[in-house]
Structure 1
Amino acid sequence: MGLAAKLFYNPEDRENTLAYRVRPSDVQVEEQQERWNDLATFIRERLGSAFGLPVSSWLQGSYKFGTQIRPARTGEDFDIDLGVYLEWPGDADAGDVSPLELKREVQSILDDYAADDANDATGTAEPKTRCNRICFDNDFHIDIPSYHLDRDADVRDLATEDDEWEFSDPKAIYVWWKDQFEGAERDRARRMVRYLKMWAALEFQISSRPSSILITVLVAQSMATIDSESVSGDDEYFRAVVEKVEARMRRSAVVKNPVNSSENLNRLSAEDCAKFVDQLASLRNIADRALGAADQFDSADIWSEAFKHFFPLPKVEEQAVAKSSYHENGMLSVIRYDPDVKITATSGGRRWEGINAVGPIPKGCDVHFAVLSPERFPNGAIVYWTVRNEGAEAEAINDLGHVSGTGFVKDESSAYRGSHFMDVVVKLNGRIIGRRRVIVHVSGLGIPKRNSPRPAWTRLR
């Protein structure tokens, strides 16, 4: 088990783990469930009336697999896949409904649903080749792939914008996934998929990003070949998964659908696929360095190269003494330059100050951070700042922080209630020589206006 294993996954402190920070909150899962249930009912009723045929629906994709991640960047959405099935016996081509006719009817239904203000929908997108899309408040959308279903034969065909039926069976691949693992091993596999998906979301833009199903299949196949006796903890498992996936992709860029050998799940271009493999090699290097780090904080800092602000830091750290000494092996230890940080929060005429901690301060403050006595750092030292947000408000808005850059000063703002961290790391030639976790307590209160105008009846006439 590596030094940072409990920062990957720890049921005893779940909120301070990567496993918790990359997934949607329990509240967000519940909100999404309420929305897709309501939408599914609406579509089934309207589609059944339009064609006079039985209609069913089935949740699929990462939500169904239990591998959904929260948006990695501002402006990106949660993604839910809700399949709708128009049923008739026999082949899809034997029916009276064409693929394009089905997709256009679904689009019309989604437009009507979005037009109702009570549904919290922000609108629909132009139909995609294999699905239709409706977008909602709180940063999520639902993709609606439409199928023909022969229930007796248990065969499905996907309607495409090219007016063709495409053989596709989301249920079969989900059953395959479930059969790969049992119990705790399936839970670990889900976490491995989420870790790799979040890394990919941070590393690649949407247009060049490996798909969720590609990552899911690669992780499942990789875990089946890992010697569980040789690894322990999610950090070591993740390193092993990355190594296996990289080796697999170097052997062949073709990743066959395990339930349909004629389908290649890798739809990346040759150039994007090569970049994916190269970045997997870089990720493996990060994992090796993190697993070989000197202490838990250093290991967490290295993992943060891959997972940015989503990777947590230890809550309690042992600060090294800032003096020169020799280890028993005769090597000179690194002199510590743990920074002290002055925090100044202002709002209107009010002001709060602190050293290494401040608050509680209200929401809406401008917050200035400044390293004290920067002249004591050696030449070439670089100060790195990372914001890590916690709490229900930050989770609801999908803002768990960001990498804030470098320098001796930094400006931020207080936006969410809770305890938040500005993590400061000082490096020289890429090696940590100092660190500080600065805590900012934010209350749920806003700042009332001071000396507000008095009622008219109190003024002199």
Structure 2
Amino acid sequence: MKTNELPNSWSVTASATAAQYLERLARELDVPVSRYEEAERRYDSVGRWLCRDDSTLKDLNPDVYVQGSFRLGTPIRPINEDEHYDIDLVCELTASKTGNTQQQLKEMLGHEMRLYAKANSMQEVSEGRRCWTLQYADGAQFHLDALPALPDGEIKRQLLVEAHLNTDWASTAIAITDNEHPGYRSISERWPHSNPRGYTDWFRSRMKTSFRQIREAMAIEAKASVEDIPSYSVKTPLQQTVQILKRHRDMMFEDDSEHKPISVIITTLSGLAYQGERSVAEALGGILERMESHILYDHRRDVFIRNPTDPQENFADRWRGAPEKRTNFFRWLRQAQEDFANIATQVIPQRLVEAASRSFGARPAQAADAGRSRTVTLAGLYGKTSSVMTASHKLPAPWPASRTGSVAISHVTWTGKGFSRPTRLHSNGQPLVKGASLSFRASTDIPGPYEVFWQVVNTGVEATVAGKLRGGFDLGSVARGNVTHEEDAAYSGSHTIECFIVKDRHLAARSGAFVINVN
């Protein structure tokens, strides 16, 4: 059943000025790369400690990995400089539920965490409901929550099968400790469950295409392999939208953090509502418009926000005992819609800053405006290549995929005015002079007969004004076994061309984008 708590007709389109501003704002809200790297060093250090030769847990093969926003790529800078970053870890141990209670497993990890804190001259470890918390020294701005867990994918799968629910993500489920659980001190098969790896896989599946395109573009600019680009340096419109919504929530509930909408609800509903939009403004508008439609209700009108990787878990289960949490969520969503609509309609930079300051804070709002005069490259996380790779006018391939071979743009030359000899051109190389003639040759191992299509994607003011952004598919020709194509560098900007081989009405191979820069 759908709710009537919010209007379903809400919709807004951002101005070009506001759309560009929101891209910069998202970058200002993101955690600096140095923080990601520091977080990685800290949880690696804990993992090495638990696996050291004299660790009491060594024989239980500790598997330590990060969960939460740092794993999803959605952490945000604290509102105040004095606030800390949370690093959420899972310490997965190959122990048995038949030989250990939740309490015993938690104490086993607690013993080692106390030793770690002592060895590193840290404060005494504190115990939470589910985790052990390490507090780092003043100035580090980090605290680390370590969750003890056991692998429990098969048990979770059986429970879902019995309930006739989806088991697609169950294999990575874990059993966790919770000192408020009725079986905390008893030997039992029924432990609380979680699935941070499965949730991450689900969230990434919602943005798979844009993540891949942006990462490939970053690799091209950095002249590196895709694998060399760390996943935390890639930010998709879905991740950036989650960051914007979380900051808006934090500002709105700065004086009532206990009852603010929790991040996992915002992240889940955003992931469900995301439809592959290629810009922050489009994603933000679409998600705010569709978010409510993914909230379910039972026969008592209780809210059910289903965990996509564990259909038995309701992320809104605490709303029953705390109705103000439910009220605050819908109040926040209405305010987010109103504030985004206000920002989206602005075309004057100063008005944008004023509107954004109220929703996100003065510092990031002003920094996003100052960013208008800064050139940011993909090597620094974003840039013009990212824009052309994720341009909204770039159409998806219309053929069903059945990759049976490969194709590569193997040879590209350009000839400028007044030049008689063609010059070899490399992808994303030095800018060409406008008016140059381009010749592309592709090589493929697909046996004939087949069809060849070329996709040209232009960006920039000149191409926009001329109505030549393109983004569709042009039928090419194959002459004597040679796959070639000719173009002119007619517009300033960054542009791409990609070759597609279609056989029996299926996409047999695609080359990947070749980037051309034109002055």
Query: 1:421-460, aligned counterparts within 5 Å?
Result: none
Q: Mean Cα displacement is larger for which, 28-37 or 286-295?
A: 286-295
Give the CA deviation at 1:67: 0.8
Give the CA deviation at 1:293: 2.5
Query: 1:351-366, aligned counterparts within 5 Å?
Result: none
Among residues 200, 216, 219, which one is paired with 1:174 in the alignment? 200
Higher RCO (CA < 8 A, seq sep 6+): 2
In the alignment, is residue 311 of structure 1 matched against residue 391 of structure 2? no
Q: CA distance change for structure 1 residues 187 and 196 in 2, over 3 Å: closer, same or farther?
A: same
Among residues 301, 304, 308, which one is paired with 1:258 in the alignment? 308
Give the CA deviation at 1:245: 2.4
Alpha-carbon deviations, 1:303-325, whole Å to 9, x = none? 222111222353399xxxxxxxx
User: Matched residues in 2 for 1:157 and 1:112: separation?
Assistant: 24
Q: CA distance change for structure 1 residues 147 and 117 in 2, over 3 Å: closer, same or farther?
A: closer
What residue in structure 1 maps to residue 243 of structure 2?
A: 194
- The amino acid that maps onto 1:145 is L
- The amino acid that maps onto 1:87 is T
1:72 aligned counterpart, secondary structure: coil
2:74 aligned counterpart, secondary structure: coil
2:206·2:274 contact (CA, 8 Å) conserved in 1? no
What residue in structure 1 maps to residue 175 of structure 2?
A: 157
Q: Mean Cα displacement is larger for which, 152-161 or 131-140?
A: 152-161
Give the CA deviation at 1:113: 1.6
2:43 aligned counterpart, secondary structure: helix
Structure 1 residue runs of 4+, over 4 Å off? 150-155, 246-252
Alpha-carbon deviations, 1:384-414, whole Å to 9, x = none? xxxxxxxxxxxxxxxxxxxxxxxxxxxxxxx
User: Matched residues in 2 for 1:316 and 1:57: separation?
Assistant: 38
User: Matched residues in 1 for 2:172 and 2:295: separation?
Assistant: 33
2:149 aligned counterpart, secondary structure: strand
Give the CA deviation at 1:272: 1.9
User: Matched residues in 2 for 1:75 and 1:8: separation?
Assistant: 26
Among residues 313, 322, 328, which one is paired with 1:275 in the alignment? 328
- The amino acid that maps onto 2:247 is M
Q: CA distance change for structure 1 residues 21 and 276 in 2, over 3 Å: closer, same or farther?
A: same
User: Matched residues in 1 for 2:43 and 2:62: separation?
Assistant: 16
Among residues 199, 211, 220, which one is paired with 2:271 in the alignment? 220
2:246 aligned counterpart, secondary structure: helix
What residue in structure 1 maps to residue 117 of structure 2?
A: 114
- The amino acid that maps onto 2:335 is S
Q: CA distance change for structure 1 residues 150 and 286 in 2, over 3 Å: closer, same or farther?
A: closer
1:83·1:145 contact (CA, 8 Å) conserved in 2? yes
Give the CA deviation at 1:233: 3.8
2:260·2:328 contact (CA, 8 Å) conserved in 1? no
User: Matched residues in 1 for 2:66 and 2:269: separation?
Assistant: 22
Query: 1:46-445, aligned counterparts within 5 Å?
Result: 49-50=56-57, 52-88=59-95, 92-94=96-98, 96-117=99-120, 121-125=122-126, 127-137=127-137, 138-149=140-151, 155-161=173-179, 162=181, 163=184, 165-184=191-210, 187-204=236-253, 205-224=256-275, 228=277, 233-246=279-292, 248-249=294-295, 253-266=303-316, 267-268=318-319, 269-309=322-362, 310-312=364-366, 314-315=369-370
Q: CA distance change for structure 1 residues 75 and 273 in 2, over 3 Å: closer, same or farther?
A: farther
Instruction: Give TM-score scaled by structure 1 length.
Output: 0.59
Identity %: 19
Give the CA deviation at 1:150: 5.2
User: Matched residues in 1 for 2:50 and 2:19: separation?
Assistant: 44
- The amino acid that maps onto 2:280 is D
Give the CA deviation at 1:158: 0.7
Q: Mean Cα displacement is larger for which, 18-27 or 33-42?
A: 18-27
What residue in structure 2 maps to residue 365 of structure 1?
A: none
User: Matched residues in 2 for 1:198 and 1:35: separation?
Assistant: 25
User: Matched residues in 1 for 2:259 and 2:135: separation?
Assistant: 22
Alpha-carbon deviations, 1:358-395, whole Å to 9, x = none? xxxxxxxxxxxxxxxxxxxxxxxxxxxxxxxxxxxxxx
2:258 aligned counterpart, secondary structure: helix
Give the CA deviation at 1:62: 1.0
1:35 aligned counterpart, secondary structure: helix
Instruction: Give TM-score scaled by structure 2 length.
Output: 0.53
- The amino acid that maps onto 1:5 is A
1:68·1:194 contact (CA, 8 Å) conserved in 2? yes
What residue in structure 2 maps to residue 376 of structure 1?
A: none
1:249·1:277 contact (CA, 8 Å) conserved in 2? no
2:153·2:173 contact (CA, 8 Å) conserved in 1? yes
User: Matched residues in 2 for 1:278 and 1:150: separation?
Assistant: 38
Give the CA deviation at 1:212: 2.2
User: Matched residues in 2 for 1:155 and 1:248: separation?
Assistant: 23
User: Matched residues in 2 for 1:147 and 1:301: separation?
Assistant: 46
User: Matched residues in 1 for 2:272 and 2:315: separation?
Assistant: 13
2:65·2:90 contact (CA, 8 Å) conserved in 1? yes
| Structure 1: segments with no counterpart, 5+ residues | 10-16, 318-461
Q: CA distance change for structure 1 residues 116 and 265 in 2, over 3 Å: closer, same or farther?
A: same
Q: CA distance change for structure 1 residues 74 and 276 in 2, over 3 Å: closer, same or farther?
A: farther
Q: CA distance change for structure 1 residues 303 and 250 in 2, over 3 Å: closer, same or farther?
A: farther
Alpha-carbon deviations, 1:67-93, whole Å to 9, x = none? 1112123443211111011114xxx53
Among residues 32, 41, 48, which one is paired with 1:41 in the alignment? 48
1:290·1:303 contact (CA, 8 Å) conserved in 2? yes
Flag the structure with higher strand content.
1
User: Matched residues in 2 for 1:296 and 1:240: separation?
Assistant: 23
2:47·2:62 contact (CA, 8 Å) conserved in 1? no
- The amino acid that maps onto 1:292 is T
2:64 aligned counterpart, secondary structure: strand
Give the CA deviation at 1:134: 0.9
1:241 aligned counterpart, secondary structure: helix
In the alignment, is residue 22 of structure 1 matched against residue 36 of structure 2? no
Alpha-carbon deviations, 1:256-289, whole Å to 9, x = none? 1111111111244321221121122122111112
| Structure 2: segments with no counterpart, 5+ residues | 1-13, 155-170, 186-190, 212-234, 373-519
